[in-house]
C-alpha cells in the first residue's frame, strides 16, 4: 500500500536507521520465563521485568482463568459507567493495605497512573511540579500535560532540590508536588526518599513516588520504597505498575481516601479508558497472596542479584550505581552496545542494548535484570558469556 502523503515516514525511518535508533523488537515465543524461547532460540532471559518469576505460575494462571469464568473476558466500559467490577474493588482494598495507605485506585497502566496524577493535581498555572531529571518518561509526559510549570532537579541532588523548593516561584505556588522514581529504571539506584520527604515537609510540598520497579522488590515483603525507608504513612502518593513484579498489566495510586475519590472523579485516563479485564485483577490478587506467604521468593531475587553483580564486577564490567536487580552494564557507545547484545544472543543470553534517547549519549549500556526464577547455573552461564563477548569487543 502506497500513500504519497505518508512519504515522510520513509525519510524518518531512514534517519532512525542512520542513528541506530530504529527498534525491531525480538519476539517471545514462550511464556515469560527465566529461560525462554525468543526468536526461536532458547536463551537465558535477562531482559524481563518478571522479578518474582510469577508470570507463568500455576496458581496465578488458575486465578486468571477462574475470573474469566465468573466475570467474562472484559468489562466493556470505563469505571464510572459500568466498568467497575467487585474484583476491581477487592484489588484496590488489598493493594491499599499492602502499601499501608488509606485507599488505592486502579489505572490501565503504570504510564497512565503517572499521567493521571500529574495532570489532575498540577491543574492550574499557580501549581508547580518538581521532578528528578531521570524520572520515567510517563512522569515527563504527565508533567507536560499538567497546567502548572515544572522544575527539574539534578539526579538525587538534594541541595538542588532545596534550592528549587526555596525559590520565589515555589514559595508562592498554590500546590507544589515533588515527584521521583523510587528505583530508577535504567540505573537501578534508589531515590533518597527520606531526604526528599524531609525537604518537602519543610517547604510545604507533597511527595509522589513512582514505585514501578520497587513494588514487589524492595521493602518488607516487597512493599516498596516508602516502606524501605520506614516512611509508611508519611508519603502522600505512591504510584506503580502491575506489569513487573505483579506479572500482569495496569497501575495504581495508593493515597488518602479523599484524594482517591478526587482522582476517580477527574483523572482523564480513569474517566475515558475501559477498566482492566477481570482476569488481570485476579492475576494481581494471586501474585499479592504469593508475595505475602512466600518470603523465600523475594530472598531468591536478591540472592540471584548479588551473585550476578559479583560475577560481572569480578570480570571487570562497570555496573554503574545499581543497588537493585536492575543492573546496567555500561558500554558508552551505541554501535558497540548493539554488537554486544547481538553477540550475547548468539551465545544464548538475551540482554537488551539501551541507547539514546532512553539514556544520554555516552551512557549506552546493556540493561539486565535477574529474577527469582533464575538458577545459579543460569546466572553462571550468563556471566561466562558476558565475559566472552565483553573481551571479544574490548569492553573488558
Catalytic residues: 185, 213, 244
With 0-12 CB in 10 A as exposed, 13-18 as middle and 19+ as buried, what is 333? middle
- Number of Cβ within 10 Å of residue 393's Cβ equals 15
The helix/strand/coil state of 228 is helix
Cis peptide preceding 315, ω within 30 of 0: no
At 128, is the secondary structure helix, strand, or coil?
Answer: strand
* 75, 76, 80, 86: CA torsion to nearest 10: -10
CA 157 to CA 192: how far, in whole Å? 9
From residue 56, how far is each of 70, 268, 313 by CA, in Å?
Answer: 21, 32, 31
**CA–CA separation, 153 and 178 (whole Å):** 10
Alpha-carbon torsion angle 211, 213, 214, 218, nearest 10: -170
CA dihedral 268, 255, 106, 90 (to 10 degrees): -140
**CA pair distance 29, 122, nearest whole angstrom:** 42
Distance set, CA 73 to CA 8, 105, 124 (Å): 39, 21, 39
| H or E segment and range at residue 30 | none
Amino acid at each position: 500500500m502506497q500513500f504519497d502523503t505518508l512519504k515522510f515516514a520513509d525519510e524518518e525511518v531512514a534517519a532512525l536507521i542512520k542513528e541506530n535508533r530504529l527498534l525491531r523488537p525480538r519476539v517471545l515465543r514462550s511464556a515469560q520465563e527465566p529461560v525462554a524461547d525468543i526468536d526461536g532460540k532458547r536463551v537465558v532471559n535477562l531482559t524481563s521485568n518478571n522479578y518474582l518469576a510469577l508470570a507463568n505460575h500455576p496458581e496465578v494462571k488458575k486465578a486468571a482463568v477462574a475470573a474469566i469464568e465468573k466475570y467474562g473476558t472484559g468489562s466493556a466500559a470505563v469505571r464510572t459507567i459500568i466498568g467497575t467490577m467487585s474484583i476491581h474493588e477487592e484489588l484496590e482494598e488489598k493493594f491499599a493495605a499492602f502499601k499501608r495507605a488509606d485507599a488505592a485506585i486502579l489505572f490501565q497502566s503504570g504510564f497512565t497512573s503517572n499521567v493521571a496524577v500529574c495532570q489532575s493535581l498540577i491543574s492550574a498555572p499557580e501549581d508547580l511540579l518538581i521532578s528528578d531529571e531521570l524520572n520515567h518518561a510517563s512522569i515527563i509526559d504527565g508533567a507536560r500535560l499538567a497546567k502548572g510549570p515544572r522544575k527539574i532537579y539534578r539526579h538525587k541532588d538534594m541541595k538542588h532540590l532545596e534550592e528549587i523548593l526555596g525559590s520565589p516561584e515555589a514559595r508562592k505556588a498554590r500546590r507544589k508536588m515533588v515527584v521521583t522514581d523510587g528505583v530508577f529504571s535504567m540505573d537501578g539506584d534508589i531515590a533518597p526518599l527520606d531526604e526528599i520527604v524531609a525537604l518537602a515537609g519543610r517547604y510545604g510540598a507533597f511527595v509522589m513516588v513512582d514505585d514501578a520497579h520497587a513494588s514487589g522488590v524492595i521493602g518488607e515483603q516487597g512493599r516498596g520504597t516508602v516502606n524501605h525507608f520506614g516512611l509508611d504513612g508519611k508519603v502522600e502518593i505512591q504510584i506503580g505498575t502491575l506489569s513487573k513484579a505483579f506479572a500482569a498489566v495496569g497501575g495504581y495510586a495508593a493515597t488518602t481516601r479523599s484524594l482517591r475519590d478526587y482522582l476517580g472523579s477527574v483523572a482523564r485516563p480513569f474517566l475515558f479508558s475501559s477498566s482492566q479485564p477481570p482476569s488481570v485483577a485476579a492475576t494481581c490478587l494471586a501474585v499479592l497472596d504469593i508475595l505475602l506467604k512466600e518470603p523465600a521468593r523475594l530472598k531468591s531475587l536478591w540472592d540471584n542479584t548479588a551473585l550476578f553483580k559479583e560475577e560481572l564486577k569480578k570480570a571487570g564490567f562497570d555496573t554503574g550505581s545499581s543497588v537493585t536487580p536492575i543492573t546496567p552494564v555500561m558500554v558508552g557507545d551505541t554501535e558497540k552496545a548493539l554488537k554486544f547484545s547481538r553477540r550475547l544472543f548468539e551465545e544464548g543470553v538475551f540482554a537488551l542494548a539501551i541507547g539514546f534517547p532512553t539514556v544520554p549519549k555516552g551512557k549506552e549500556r546493556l540493561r539486565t535484570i535477574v529474577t527469582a526464577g533464575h538458577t545459579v547455573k543460569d546466572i553462571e552461564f550468563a556471566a561466562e558469556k558476558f565475559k566472552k563477548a565483553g573481551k571479544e569487543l574490548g569492553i573488558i
